[in-house]
Amino acid sequence: MPDDFLYARQRMVDDLARGYGIKNQRVLAAMGSVKRHLFVREHLRRQAYGDFALPSGSDQTISQPYVVARMTELLDVSADHVVLEIGTGTGYQTAILAELASRVYSLERIGSLARQAIARIRELGYQNVKIQTFDGTVGWGEVAPFDRILITAGAPAVPEPLFSQLGVGGVLVIPEGDRESQRLVKYRKLRAGGFQRSEGESVAFVPLVGRFGWREQS
């Protein structure tokens, strides 16, 4: 079956490398492999490879390609890693992680989004992904510890359960700030105890809602 979006996807990857400075070749290869247009609404598919977020339903969005690539690069995923993703959304970031990791566990609090993402991931043939509908701020303790944790919604701070579920030497990436704007923050869990913290660029994500995050607004 011909890929009508192949050129647009290749151009997106080239822009990520040359225009935005994404250097991790595995990340670029994953961005070039996963068909983003399959994760957006049909009437928006012609916009799928533009560098901007798109609405995905239930007041959520699919992040712009640069933010997906940058967060994935910061996460530094190896082929033997087990990854926890908080906020499945459309499943696009999940698929990128599935290209890179040994196993991906993903939590989505909105049932309709989780069901759609499960269907997409299955249709695309990923065998190393498990998605559940649950409060992501609580994490997934039964399968912890994780080598990497990626949080794809903005939070005032890292939910404490997620810190405890990150393995020693592991990396956690989160948009940290207020409801309207955040900065990408990378944490590395040190063997001697505690965390190494580094801040990145400004971003704007939907809020991380849950027991250890923001309260849902009426």
Q: Does the annotation count 63 as an active-site position?
A: yes
Find the farthest-apart pair of alpha carbons in the chain and give their distance in angstroms, rounded.
Answer: 53
The Cα 194–Cα 78 span in angstroms is 23
Alpha carbon separation from 128 to 66, 108, 168 (Å, rounded): 24, 17, 23
> Terminus-to-terminus CA distance in the chain, angstroms?
45
The DSSP H or E segment spanning 114 is helix 111-123
* Residue 159 and residue 172 in contact, taking contact as beta carbons nearer than 8 Å: no
Say which of 33, 56, 58, 63 is annotated catalytic: 63
Which tokens is 50 given? 């533009």
Q: If we measure between CA atoms, which residue out of 153, 192, 184 comes closest to residue 75?
A: 184
Q: If we measure between CA atoms, which residue out of 75, 86, 87, 88 comes closest to residue 30?
A: 75
Catalytic residues: 63
